[in-house]
């Protein structure tokens, strides 16, 4: 199993699901372009306006988290285009035209990013295209052609309900596809992955969907004056998200710098904290932890050795298992106290505080001790047995850890580690 890292430039997911999504997006785009070229484009000014918005949105896309990029302007504009129906839009775009406009605009928008060497995920863009296509199909299938924004409640209510159903269909499809990808890439249980995707959709996706509905309704009623007015709040929101994303990157860099301090001081071997964190994250994914808990788990694993800096001398090769139980627990307490001083990592400090507690005297009798502490404990033990310079094979290390099941190590965590090692995890 390889540890994924953030990369710059064009990112094609080397996975079966990623290739399927790319192929589906390419086939759908080609079919839509052929059909649109044959039938002709209706309402050119509207198509060009929304196409420009989608292209600009793709050009200024960004990351809110480490898993995927976000293009709120492009997503809202694409959804808005497929939901047009009103007096100011002479002919509502057909499904094929919607897909064709979104596909061409996406390509135009990402081209400058590719030239500039900026990060872009082709699979995520194809996911957006497929989701918008689903919304267009649902909307076209349910909304009668004579239904428009004519000022009557008899038209407004069915149109609003159909719009909501269409964007929910798009969000659900994207969540299911995203959960499948997470299951494939990280071996996360599908129900847990779907829970995480739906959570992201509820926080971010529906905001873009509602904006798309407002954009469609405004353009249908007021014409092309509406898009700039509707998208101004979204621009402000995008700016805020970009600032938040930048702060998160700085936050992660600071944590990793703190973790490397133990390596510089000789209290852990080079890369030991990163390897421990990678294994802890793999176990957390296997056990279906939420994204917030996963982040805390990763930080705790990275900072689990900070307390050793207060000890008299480093362990040979960073092998903290060679220290006495009292020394390890004292180091964990000191590390937790240091982390708490940051003022924002109290949940991480609690994990580190109990990361050396034996299972029988700890979590087995105290449900308040987080599962993440047991994960860090097992991950650190495995790394010290298998990591660089230790010489043990994964099978031998699992035998050693197995001897401590129920006493030193949490049985649930050890069983998860066994599955991960069996799937081929290697540092």
Under DSSP, the state recorded for 405 is B
Of 62-66, 71-75, 203-207, 219-223, the one with minimum mean pLDDT is 62-66
What is the average pLDDT across 98-124?
91
For residue 403, the tally of other CB atoms under 10 A from its CB is: 10
CB atoms within 10 A of CB 296: 22
pTM exceeds 0.95 for this model? no
Around 309, how many Cα atoms within 13 Å sit in the side-chain half-sphere? 19
Statement: residue 208 has pLDDT above 50: yes
Question: Contact, 304 vs 355, CB < 8 A?
Answer: yes
What confidence tier does 244 reach under pLDDT thresholds 50, 70, 90?
confident
Q: What is d(CA 173, CA 8) in angstroms, rounded to the nearest whole number?
A: 27
Is the model's pLDDT at 1 over the cut of 50? no
Strands (E), 149-252: none
Counting residues of the chain whose pLDDT is more than 90, the rounded percentage is 41
- Asked whether 133 and 98 are in contact (CB, 8 A), the reply is yes
Q: What is the pLDDT of residues 264-287, one digit of tens each?
A: 877 777 888 889 999 999 999 999
Q: How many residues does the chain have?
A: 427
3-state secondary structure of 66: coil
Mean pLDDT score of the chain: 85
* Per-residue pLDDT tens over the stretch 314-361: 565 555 665 677 777 888 888 888 888 877 678 899 999 998 888 888
CB-facing half-sphere around the CA of 24: CA atoms within 13 A: 18
SS (H, E, C) 94-152: CHHHHHHHHHHHHHHHHHHHHHHCCCEEHHHHHHHHHHHHHHHHHHHHHCCCCCCCCCC
Whole-number pLDDT of residue 11: 38
């Amino acid at each position: 199993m390889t540890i994924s890292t953030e990369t710059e430039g064009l990112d094609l997911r080397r996975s079966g699901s990623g290739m399927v999504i790319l192929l589906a997006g390419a086939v759908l785009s080609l079919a839509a372009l052929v059909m649109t070229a044959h039938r002709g484009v209706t309402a050119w000014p509207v198509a060009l306006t929304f196409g420009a918005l989608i292209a600009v949105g793709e050009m200024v896309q960004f990351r809110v988290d480490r898993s995927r990029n976000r293009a709120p302007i492009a997503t809202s504009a694409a959804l808005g285009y497929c939901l047009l129906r009103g007096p100011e839009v002479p002919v509502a775009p057909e499904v094929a035209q919607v897909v064709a406009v979104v596909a061409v605009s996406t390509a135009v928008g990402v081209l400058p990013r590719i030239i500039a060497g900026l990060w872009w995920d082709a699979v995520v863009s194809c996911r957006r295209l497929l989701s918008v296509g689903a919304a267009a199909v649902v909307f076209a299938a349910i909304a009668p052609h004579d239904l428009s924004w004519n000022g009557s409640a008899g038209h407004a209510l069915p149109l609003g309900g159909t719009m909501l159903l269409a964007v929910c269909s798009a969000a659900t499809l994207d969540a299911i596809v995203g959960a499948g990808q997470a299951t494939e890439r990280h071996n996360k249980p599908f129900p847990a992955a779907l829970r995480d995707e739906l959570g992201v959709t509820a926080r971010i996706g529906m905001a873009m969907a509602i904006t798309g509905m407002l954009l469609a309704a405004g353009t249908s009623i007021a014409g092309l004056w509406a898009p700039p007015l509707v998208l101004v709040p979204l621009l402000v929101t995008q700016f805020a998200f970009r600032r938040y994303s930048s702060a998160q990157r700085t936050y992660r860099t600071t944590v990793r710098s703190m973790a490397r301090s133990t390596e510089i001081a000789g209290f852990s071997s080079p890369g030991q904290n990163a390897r421990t964190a990678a294994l802890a994250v793999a176990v957390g994914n296997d056990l279906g932890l939420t994204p917030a808990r996963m982040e805390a788990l990763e930080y705790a694993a990275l900072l689990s050795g900070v307390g050793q800096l207060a000890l008299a001398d480093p362990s040979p090769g960073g092998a903290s298992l060679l220290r006495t139980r009292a020394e390890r627990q004292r180091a964990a307490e000191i590390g937790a106290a240091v982390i708490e001083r940051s003022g924002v990592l109290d949940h991480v400090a609690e994990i580190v505080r109990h990361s050396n507690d034996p299972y029988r005297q700890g979590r087995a009798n105290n449900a308040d001790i987080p599962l993440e502490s047991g994960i860090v404990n097992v991950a650190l033990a495995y790394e010290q047995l298998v990591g660089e310079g230790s010489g043990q094979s994964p099978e031998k290390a699992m035998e050693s850890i197995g001897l401590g099941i129920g006493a030193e190590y949490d049985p649930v965590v050890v069983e998860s580690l066994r599955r991960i090692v069996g799937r081929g995890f290697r540092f």
